[in-house]
């Protein structure tokens, strides 16, 4: 199966997600957070650096739970402005 290339906006949103998660992690180690979320350390590192720009919903939900991030707030932060959707 061939995967459709990501748009520039999707790549930028992936980078923003990664930065947000990394900031929320704070002083906690990536290994600690990955273990608590039930994902591999490699997966967390790839998400944080934007290499996985569109992680699975349940992965994001698990990370949000561990990092105490509200999914609605995360969605608002990563959604394009409404003006961009209207054009």
Residue 65 lies in a domain: yes
Residue 71 lies in a domain: yes
| Domains: count for the chain | 1
pLDDT in tens, 4-52: 898 999 999 999 999 999 999 999 999 999 999 999 999 999 999 999 9
Token output for 19 = 């930065």
Indicate the pTM of the whole model. Answer: 0.86
Residue 13 lies in a domain: yes
- Answer yes or no: are the C-beta atoms of 52 and 86 closer than 8 Å: no
Token output for 40 = 């591999």
For residue 56, give Cα distances in angstroms to 5, 27, 62, 73: 16, 25, 10, 18
- Answer yes or no: are the C-beta atoms of 33 and 47 closer than 8 Å: no
Residue 87, pLDDT above cutoff 60? no
Q: How many CB atoms lie within 10 A of CB 55?
A: 20
Residue 46 lies in a domain: yes
Q: What residue has token string 């105490």?
A: 68
Q: What is the pLDDT of residue 19?
A: 96
Residue 1 lies in a domain: no
Residue 87 lies in a domain: no
List the CATH number of the domain containing 45.
1.10.260.40
Whole domain around residue 70: which residue ranges? 8-81
Residue 3 lies in a domain: no
Q: What is the pLDDT of residue 84?
A: 55
């Amino acid at each position: 199966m061939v995967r459709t290339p990501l748009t520039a906006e999707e790549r930028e949103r992936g980078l923003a997600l990664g930065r947000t998660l990394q900031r929320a992690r704070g002083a906690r180690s990536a290994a600690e957070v990955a273990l608590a979320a039930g994902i591999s350390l490699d997966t967390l590192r790839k998400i944080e650096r934007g290499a996985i720009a569109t992680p699975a919903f349940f992965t994001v939900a698990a990370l949000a739970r561990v990092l105490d991030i509200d999914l609605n707030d995360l969605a608002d932060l990563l959604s394009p402005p409404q003006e961009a959707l209207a054009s």
